[in-house]
């Protein structure tokens, strides 16, 4: 197995154990680069074969939906199984799909984001327009439930995904307004912004004391907003990590790629 498969399986099994769920109704994964190390290996084998026959295994384990498929095989799960790959918005798209599934009647949905670092195939530094970032591999998984079985559940109020944006501030204002919130209602903003102009926009919406760059903890990957969601949940469950005063809401602002914006709103 590749690193991204190992990380995802370990995270998903631990997540289900903590939630006390044996079988989810759906498995949904957001990944930008999929099993990119296996993709490189597959391409190398194509070149070395020089037109000769190839084992299908190399292709099978290199596809983006390998992660969700392997989890389903391990769990012997025959439910809804979906992989979303929309570069830096992959995890937000997976979350939105999971929320739709809950509205349609699913009781428990396993949803996660996972990516592994691979610079020889994907020039992330040029895409993100920042050469100083620390690129990493990572995976985070969650159980979304329509009716939580315990009192420690955190509410996922909304998730949004916006591509080719002109104004980040306008999208944030509209997103918060659609959920009956304003910038002052947010206790903490966990952000990943790698463009100076976008950072200026964010500072015009929120106060400096509301802002924290989660890339300082997680490094940079296209689905590191999944880590931010995990971190935000930990903060809401344990206020001693960081005081949110009376504003028990966290906004995750994913602007890893300057033209893309992902937003996630959590509440205790």
Beta strands per DSSP E along the chain: 26-30, 80-84, 108-115, 138-145, 155-163, 188-193, 211-213, 249-255, 260-267
Same domain, 136 and 8: yes
Global pTM reads: 0.90
8 A C-beta contact, residue 133 and residue 213: no
- Give the per-residue pLDDT at 240: 52
- Location of structure tokens 């296996």: 38
Same domain, 139 and 235: no
The answer to whether position 127 is within a domain reads: yes
Same domain, 131 and 174: no
Same domain, 61 and 107: yes
The answer to whether position 150 is within a domain reads: no
Pairing of strands 80-84, 26-30: parallel
- Give the per-residue pLDDT at 148: 63
Backbone angles phi, psi at 157, to 5 degrees: -70, -40
| Domain termination residue (choose one: 145, 176, 205) | 145
Token digits for 202? 């964010």
- Give the per-residue pLDDT at 146: 87
The answer to whether position 54 is within a domain reads: yes
| Per-residue tens of pLDDT for the chain, all 268 residues | 888 999 999 999 999 999 999 999 999 999 998 887 777 787 888 888 888 888 787 778 788 899 999 999 999 999 999 999 999 999 999 999 999 999 999 999 999 999 988 766 666 777 776 667 788 999 999 999 987 665 567 899 999 999 999 999 999 999 999 999 999 999 999 999 999 999 999 999 999 999 999 999 999 999 999 999 999 999 988 865 555 556 789 999 999 999 999 999 999 8
pLDDT cut 70: percent of the chain above it: 92
The answer to whether position 131 is within a domain reads: yes
Same domain, 125 and 33: yes
Backbone angles phi, psi at 223, to 5 degrees: -115, 30
| Domain termination residue (choose one: 145, 163, 184) | 145
Same domain, 134 and 202: no
Sign of CA pseudo-dihedral 145, 147, 150, 153: positive
Same domain, 10 and 138: yes
Other beta carbons within 10 angstroms of residue 34's beta carbon come to 24
Same domain, 161 and 181: yes
- Give the per-residue pLDDT at 152: 66
| Domain termination residue (choose one: 145, 169, 188) | 145
Same domain, 159 and 211: yes
* Domain that residue 42 falls in: 3-145
- Give the per-residue pLDDT at 2: 85
- Give the per-residue pLDDT at 244: 58
Same domain, 76 and 115: yes
Buried b vs exposed e over 56-80: b needs ≥16 C-beta within 10 Å? eebeebbebbbbbbbbbeebebebb
The answer to whether position 79 is within a domain reads: yes
Closest CA relative to residue 66, chosen from 93, 101, 42, 100:
42
Same domain, 109 and 70: yes
| Structural domains of the chain, count | 2
CATH number at residue 85: 3.40.47.10
Same domain, 9 and 85: yes
Q: Whole-angstrom Cα distance, residue 212 to residue 98?
A: 27
- Give the per-residue pLDDT at 212: 96
- Give the per-residue pLDDT at 35: 85
Q: Which residues pair with 82 in a beta bridge?
A: 28
Sign of CA pseudo-dihedral 183, 238, 25, 58: positive
Q: Which residues pair with 212 in a beta bridge?
A: 190
8 A C-beta contact, residue 90 and residue 30: yes
- Give the per-residue pLDDT at 65: 92
Sign of CA pseudo-dihedral 211, 214, 217, 219: negative
- Give the per-residue pLDDT at 243: 54
């Amino acid at each position: 197995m590749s690193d991204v498969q190992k990380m995802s399986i370990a995270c998903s099994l631990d997540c289900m154990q903590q939630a006390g769920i044996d079988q989810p109704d759906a498995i949904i994964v957001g990944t930008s680069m999929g099993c990119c190390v296996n993709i490189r290996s597959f391409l190398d084998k194509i070149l070395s074969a020089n037109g000769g026959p190839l084992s299908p295994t190399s292709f099978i384990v290199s596809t983006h939906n390998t992660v969700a498929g392997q989890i389903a095989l391990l769990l012997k799960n025959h439910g809804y199984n979906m992989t979303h790959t929309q570069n830096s918005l992959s995890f937000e798209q997976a979350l939105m799909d999971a929320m739709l599934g809950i509205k349609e009647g699913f009781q428990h949905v396993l949803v996660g984001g996972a990516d592994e670092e691979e610079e020889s195939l994907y020039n992330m530094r040029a895409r993100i327009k920042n050469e100083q970032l620390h690129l990493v591999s990572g995976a985070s998984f969650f159980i979304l439930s329509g009716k939580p079985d315990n009192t420690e559940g955190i509410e996922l109020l909304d998730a949004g995904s916006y591509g080719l944006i002109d104004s980040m501030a306008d999208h944030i204002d509209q997103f918060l307004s659609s959920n009956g919130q304003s910038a002052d209602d947010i206790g903490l903003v966990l952000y990943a912004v790698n463009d100076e102009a976008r950072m200026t926009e964010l500072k015009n919406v929120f106060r400096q004391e509301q802002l924290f760059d989660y890339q300082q903890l997680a490094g940079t990957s296209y689905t590191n907003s999944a880590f931010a969601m995990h971190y935000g949940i930990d903060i809401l469950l344990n206020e001693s990590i960081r005081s949110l005063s009376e504003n028990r809401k966290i906004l995750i602002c994913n602007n890893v790629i300057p033209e893309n914006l992902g937003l996630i709103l959590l509440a205790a």
